[in-house]
Structure 1
């Protein structure tokens, strides 16, 4: 599928931003009753096919929601000036992550190693994991670095 990209940054900037920032993705979906649901998940990005790869527990509510309606909206953005990010829409598919291969990669990316209590808890044998692939269909990228150049230095800690 060809990614439809809008915004000032080009595809190379967008791919690099999504690939190089350990910022959780915010994912919005619908519940089976038609309500809205948003959550943050760790992700990896594959620039070759414009896909986000998310890990979540097999018992998480979002698994049920995505099985009922695979359409999602997402955003990966910085929380401090200068603001930059990518938001968009896509379609999710789910498959078991039986050997936790994706989760292991994400633990390494986000935590740096697998030694913490959190890493051990996430990777425990009795936890069933799901690999969610989001085929990004549309995206909008932004980088307010130039217009916020003087704000960056005044950012509160």
Structure 2
């Protein structure tokens, strides 16, 4: 069960996650204990965040060693808003179905050379499913709007 806190209701968090086509930043531990951050495309489905990446990617090895993660999905343009949280990861051996949906979500279709490269038959993909434990939302729209109003006077 996810603990939702912050500026938004659970429904507002879910709406943001469904609508936002910005990447997720995942923080994990490397086997030596140091921290690592990776950015991936995601989709929100049934209370989980799902990603796909190459089966041989370093992040896959790190997550298999330690499935505890922290994450951030936030806008890079004013007004800043988003979520951050923590949870655990499960890795599925066949990430192609998730990747196909991510290509559609982020690229708008599979016609581009990037989409074709990502979906090539010789690429082995795994699925990464994040089960959030805590989600904290923030939205600086009101504060930033007030600041920009002050500057215009």
* TM-score, normalisation: structure 1: 0.91
Q: Choose which of 133, 143, 146 in structure 2 pairs with 1:147.
A: 143
Q: What is the RMSD computed on CA atoms of the aligned residues?
A: 1.3
The Cα shift of 1:88 comes to 0.2
Alignment of 1:118 onto 2:114: yes
Moved over 2 A (4+): 150-153
| The structure with more helix, counted as a fraction of residues | 2
Alignment of 1:5-154 (within 5 A): 5-46=4-45, 48=46, 50-97=47-94, 100-150=96-146
Describe the superposition over 1:35-93 as per-residue Cα deviations: whole angstroms up to 9, x where unpaired. 110010000002x3x21001110010000000000000000000011010000001000
Q: Which runs of no fewer than 5 residues in structure 2 stay unpaired?
A: none
TM-score (norm 2): 0.93
SS in 2 for 1:147: helix
Give the gaps of 5 or more residues in structure 1. Answer: none
Give me the whole-angstrom Cα distance separating, in 1, the residues matched to 2:24 and 2:43: 9
